[in-house]
Amino acid sequence: MVLRDKPQAFLAASKSATVPCLVTDDQVIDESLDVMIWALQRHDPDQWLQMPESGMEWIERADGPFKSALDRTKYANRYEDVDASQQRDLASVFLKDLDAQIDVWMFGRPSLADFAILPFVRQFAFINKPWFDAQPWPDLQGWLARFLESPEFSAMMLKYPQWHPSDPPVYFPTVAENSKP
């Protein structure tokens, strides 16, 4: 979707008018974490949902205080009386803690927490990548680098033309041909 040109069908489906937005036969899901959980409840071959309770606490921390500091660092001009460097320092507290949590993965193997938090860390890192790379967060930086270099990341970052309701369905590469509805 081209965010500056949101289709009317999308706006009609999503009360928040934000992406992602998943429309199923019985509900509209327009929060990233909720979409991930919905999908994993149906197919979780790597058992990402099987993580310690603290995984959800990490996700809440990333989606709350860290995301707030991330937005105020990246888009400081959108907020009145915000000091971007102070917000970067607040975000850095979370990232330092996350660095200490990571040992290849947050809980020793891939989990929902890893893949719910990685996009936020990626977004923060690319605000000022040289600064990010200079920080004393080797486990966090390696975690992000492995994600960015993975074939899965490359596959999910493919660009698609803007879809319109009159267009045929678009099936993502990870959906097997024989599992199309």
- CATH value at residue 166: 3.40.30
The boundaries of the domain holding residue 30 are: 8-46+159-179
Identify the band that residue 151 occupies on the pLDDT scale cut at 50, 70 and 90.
Answer: confident
pLDDT 10s digits, 1-15: 556 777 787 788 887
Q: How many distinct structural domains can be found in the chain?
A: 2
The alpha carbon dihedral of 28, 112, 142, 93 has a sign of: positive
pLDDT 10s digits, 83-101: 999 999 999 999 999 999 9
**Do residue 90 and residue 133 come from a single domain?**
yes
Identify the band that residue 154 occupies on the pLDDT scale cut at 50, 70 and 90.
Answer: confident
In this predicted model, which residue has the larger pLDDT, 30 or 156? 30
Q: Which amino acid is at 162?
A: Q
Cβ contacts of residue 10 below 8 Å, gap of 6+? Answer: 1, 17, 21
